Amino acid sequence: MQNERKPPNSFRKAPDERGHFGPYGGRFVAETLMPLILEVEKAYLEARDDISFWVEFDKYAKHYIGRPSPLYHAEKASKHFGGAQIYFKRDELNHTGAHKINHCIGQILLATRMGKTRIIAETGAGQHGVATATVCALFDIPCTIFMGETDVKRQAPNVFRMKLLGAEVRSVSSGTGTLKDAMNEALRDWVTHVEDTYYLIGTVAGPHPFPMMVRDFQSIIGKELREQFQDRYGGLPDTLVACIGGGSNAMGLFYPFLDEREVKLIGVEAGGHGVESGEHAASLTGGLPGILHGMSSYFLQDENGQIKDAHSISAGLDYPGIGPEHAWLFDHKRVEYVSVPDQEALEAFQLCAKLEGIIPALEPAHAFAHVAKIAPSLPEDHHLVMNLCGRGDKDIFTVADMLGVKL
Amino acid sequence: MKRLGKVFESLRTENRKGLIAFIMGGDPDVETSTALLKALPSRGVDVIEIGMPFSDPMADGPVIQMAGQRALEAGCTLRNVLDMVVSFRKDNQDTPLVLMGYANPVYRYGVDKFALDCAEAGVDGVIIVDLPPEEDQAVREALGNQFVDMIRLITPTSDAGRLETILDGATGFLYYVSITGITGAAKAKHDKVAAHIEKIRAKTDLPIAVGFGIKTPNDAQEMSALGDAVVVGSSIVEKIAHLSGKSGKVDQGAPEMTAVLDHIGALSGALKPAA
C-alpha cells in the first residue's frame, strides 16, 4: 500500500480495471464472494453501457425521487456570514429525505437485471435502511436490513419505518453492535446466501465495483449542479462542501468537478468530541490506511490493526472507514478534508433552521458548520455550494436530548 | 523438505487422513493458549491452525468471533501469536503450524516484517481470509521469499475459471471451504463436495484439506473421505470457551483442559484407518 506520489492526469479515470484507486479500493473479500463480486461488476459494466438502463434510472429519478433537486441561493445565510454567496443543493427534498435513494434506485434496477430475488443492506442511522426498504417495496423484493443493536435502540422511528415498508430488521449484537458490525453481519449473510441475494451497499465503500457504482449513481447530484449553475449564473461554482461518513453524497457532488482544478472541494468529516480526544469518526484526519469490509482505505484503528469504534452525534457519519476514492483524493490533496466536532454541528443545525427555515440532518449540519467558518472571509462574488444531503426530521430527538429538551 | 509437505506425504504413504485443529491464538489468554497448543500433537493432531485475533472477522460465525474477542480483551497481539509459535518450536520441530486471520493486522504489523518473523518463529503457512488471489500478491511474495506457504481457499462457488485463478500460485495445500457460509455453520452435503473435489483433483496435485461445518468425530470421519485432511475449529473453540476466566490456574490436568484434549483425541481417533 505504498502511496503513489505522482498525481494522475485525470481524476476521473479511476478506478483501474481491478477496482484500485491508486493503492486503495480493490476486492478484499472471502473467496466465496469473489465469483459474485465479479458477476456484479460484469452486470454493472453492461448496464452502464446500456441506454435503456439509464432511461429507467432517469424515469425513477424524475418521477419517484423528484429530481432534479433544486439549487437554492441561501441569501439570508450569505448575508448573515457577510462573505461568499452560499447555495444549497437540496437533496434533502428527495423522496425519503436524503440522497441515499439515488443509489438505491440504481442498485435495485441492477439487482432485478441480475435476477436476484432477495436484498440485504446495512444501516447505521437507518436512512440507507429506509431507502433500501422503500425501493424493495416498490420492486416487490423481500429485504433484510442489518442494524447494530445500539442503533436499533436509538433510531426507533426508522426501525418502525423500515418495518412499515415490509423489511425485516435484524438487530446485530456481535462486536460492538454498531454500523461496522452491521456491515460484517451483512457480509456474513451474503456469504451464506450467494445464490439469490444482492447486497445493496449504502455508500461508496465495500469491494469493487461498489465504490465506483455508488459514485456513478450519486454523480447525478454533481451533474445537475453543473447544469443548474451554468444556466443561472454561468461558469462553475468556486467551492463545493459536503459532509463525509462513508462519503457517498460528497463523491456524488465532487466527481463531475474533479478535473476542474479551479473548483475547490472540501469534505467535512465528523469530529465527534474532537479528533485529539480519540472519540470521532474522522477516518482521514484521524485514521490510518488499512483493509476492512472488502476495501483498502483509511480506517480508525489501534497500533495492532484492530478496528476502533467511531463516534459522532450523527449516526449517519458514525463509520470507522471511508470510501477508497476519498482516500486517494486525500493523498493527492485534490480534496481538502477537515473535521467538525459534535458541538459545532449542533449549533449549525439550529442556525440553519433559524436562518433559512430548513431543518438539516445532523450530517449536512457538519458541512454547514464548516461553511460558517470559511464563508465570512471569502469575497462576495465567491460561489460556495453545500450539499444539503438530508433533512433533519429524524434527528429532532437526538438534538432535543442534547439541548436538554424533553419531547 | 518443508514440514507441510512431509506431513501430507506421510499421510499418503500411511494411507491415513489428517486432522487439522484450529485454536484461536491467545484464547482465553496467551499462557493458557500456549499450553494448549503444545498439548495438541500428543492427541493426534497433524497440522495446527492458529487464529490471529481480529476485531472484525467477517467470515467467522459467533463461536470464533467470541474467541477472537476473548483473546483481544486479554491483550493478545500478533506478536504474542508469533511468540506462541516460538515457544512451541522449542520442543516440536515436526508439526506444521499455519496462521489464519485477516489482512488488516498483518498490514499494520508490516507485510515484510510479518513474513520474516513468521519464518523465524517457525510458521509453515499463512491463510488470510480476506486476501483473494487478486489481492494477495504482496503477502504471497513476501512469504514466498521466506519459504512460508500462502494457503489459498477454494469454495463451492469456485467455478472452472475461478479454479484456474486460485491454483495459479497456490502452495502448501488447498483449503476447501465446504459450504457457502461462515465458520461453525451446518455441515456440507457430502455428494456435492465430492463432485467438486474430483474436479479440483483433476487440475492439481496439491493436498486438499476440507473445512467448515465439521464438528464431531462422525463428521470428521465422513468428510475425511473427500480430501487429505479435515479441519475442525468451532467445536474445539467452543470447549476452549470453558477455560475462560481460569487464567493462571489451568494446568494440563484441569477438567476443562481435559475436555478440550479429549474432544481432539476423539476426532483424531475417528480418522485412524480401520484395523
CATH number for the domain that contains residue B135: 3.20.20.70
Query: Which residues in chain A are contacts of B108 at CB distance < 8 A?
Result: 288, 290, 301, 303-305
C-alpha Rg value of chain A to the nearest Å: 20
A chain contacts of residue B102, beta-carbon cutoff 8 Å: 291
- B273 falls within a domain: no
pLDDT at B180 (0 to 100): 87
In a domain, B23, yes or no: yes
Smallest Cα–Cα separation from A307: which of B182, B41, B245, B53?
A: B53
Span B125-133, mean pLDDT?
97
CA distance A47 to A42: 9
> What gap in Å lies between CA B86 and CA B155, rounded to an integer?
32
With cell 473421505, the residue in question is B225
**Is residue B232 classed as helix, strand or coil in its secondary structure?**
strand
Do B107 and A291 count as a contact with CB atoms less than 8 A apart? Answer: yes
Which cell numbers in the block locate residue A396?
429532532
Q: Looking at the domain assignment, is residue B161 inside a domain?
A: yes
Find which of B60, B72, B108, B193 to mutate to test the A interface (most A CBs within 10 Å of its CB): B108
> A180: which chain B residues are within 8 Å (Cβ-Cβ)?
56
Within the 123-142 window of chain B, which residues sit less than 8 Å (CB to CB) from chain A? Answer: 129-132, 134-135
Using an 8 Å CB-CB cutoff, list chain A residues near B54: 305-306
Residue B263: closest CA among B237, B225, B227, B226: B237
Least CB-CB distance to B56: which of A26, A195, A292?
A292
Count CB atoms within 10 A of the CB of residue B69: 19
Contact B157 A27 (CB under 8 A): no
Assigned domain for B269 exists:
no
Tell me which chain A residue has its CA closest to the CA of residue B57.
Answer: A184
Domains, chain A, with CATH or none = 30-59+99-214 (3.40.50.1100), 66-98+219-402 (3.40.50.1100)
Residues pairing with A267 in the sheet: A242, A337
C-alpha cell at A217: 449513481
Give Cα separations from A86 to A77, A338, A375, A388, B140 (angstroms).
7, 19, 8, 12, 52
Query: Which ranges constitute the DSSP H helices of B110-155?
Result: 111-121, 137-145
Alpha carbon of B70: minimum distance to chain A alpha carbons (Å): 11
Q: Is 90 exceeded by the pLDDT of residue B188?
A: no
Chain B residues in contact with A305 by the CB 8 A cut-off are: 54, 78, 104-109
- Residue B271 covered by a domain: no
All three cell numbers of B192, joined, read 456435492
What is the pairing mode between strands A294-299 and B18-24? unpaired
Distance of CA A255 to the CA centre of its chain: 13
Number of residues written out for chain A: 407
Q: Mean pLDDT lowest for which of A1-15, B60-74, B97-111?
A: A1-15
Mutation to test the A interface, candidates B157, B158, B174, B179, most A Cβ within 10 Å = B157
Cell triple for residue A378? Answer: 471569502
- Dig out the grid coordinates for B150 from the structure: 500462502
Domain count, chain B: 1
CB spacing of A304 vs B78 below 8 angstroms: yes
Range of the domain at B80: 3-264
| pLDDT, tens only, A225-272 | 999 999 999 999 999 999 999 999 999 999 999 999 999 999 999 999
Instruction: Write a three-state SS string for A210-222.
Output: HHHHHHHHHCHHH
- Helices H, strands E: what count in chain B? 12, 9
Report how far residue B78's alpha carbon sits from residue B103's, in angstroms, rounded to the nearest whole number: 12
pLDDT at B244 over 90: no
Q: Which residues of chain A have pLDDT under 50?
A: 1-3
CA distance linking residue A369 with residue A340, whole number of Å: 7
Q: Which residues, 6+ apart, have CB-to-CB distance to B52 below 8 Å? A: B25, B78, B81, B99, B100, B101, B102, B105, B106
| Helix, coil or strand: residue B15 | coil
pLDDT score, position B181:
86
Q: Do B108 and A29 touch (CB under 8 A)?
A: no
B148, B115 Cβ separation under 8 angstroms: yes
Neighbouring C-beta atoms of residue A223, cutoff 10 Å: 16
| Average pLDDT over every residue of B1-27 | 95
Tell me, yes or no, whether B275 lies in a domain: no
Distance (Å) from the alpha carbon of B90 to chain A's nearest alpha carbon: 26
Task: Confirm whether the ipTM is greater than 0.90.
Answer: yes
